[in-house]
Amino acid sequence: MSRNAKINTLLLALVAALAVLPLALGLGDHKEEPFTGADAEAETAITEIEPDYEPWFSPLYEPPSGEIESALFSLQAALGAGVLAYYFGLRRGRRQGEQRAAVRAEAGPSDPGADA
C-alpha cells in the first residue's frame, strides 16, 4: 500500500469516526433536539439571557417546513462541492496539459524530415 493510500485511508477512518462517535456515545441525549445547528443553539442562549430580545433582521425567505429547509441546505452544499470539484479538476487538467507540452517540447519535432 502506497504512502498516499495509507494517508487517505487514515483520513477516511478519522472522518467516519467523527461522524459516528457522537451517535455511538450518546452525546446530546439529554437534549430535546440533540444535534441542532449553531443558529438554534445561539437563539436558545440569547432568549435565556435576554427574554425580550428582538432580532434586528428577519429572513428573506422562510421555508414552510424543516424538510424543505434541509433540502435547500443540501442543494447549497452540493452546488458548493460541485464548484470546488470543477475548480480542482480544471487546475489538475491544466497542470497535466502543461506537463505534456513540456515533454513534447523536450522530445523535439516528431517528423525527422522537418529540419531539412
What cell does 1 get? 500500500
Q: Quickly tell me which residue has 519535432 as its cell.
A: 109
Backbone angles phi, psi at 44, to 5 degrees: -65, -45
- pLDDT one-digit tens code per residue, 53-107: 888 888 898 889 888 988 999 999 999 999 999 999 999 999 999 999 999 998 8
Q: What pTM did the predictor assign? A: 0.52
Question: What pLDDT band is residue 112 in, cutting at 50, 70 and 90?
Answer: low
Measure the CA–CA gap between 96 and 83, rounded to whole angstroms: 20
Beta strands in 1-116, from DSSP E residues, in sequence order: none
What cell does 65 get? 417546513
- pLDDT one-digit tens code per residue, 79-91: 999 999 999 999 9
Specify the pLDDT at position 34.
66
What cell does 60 get? 428573506
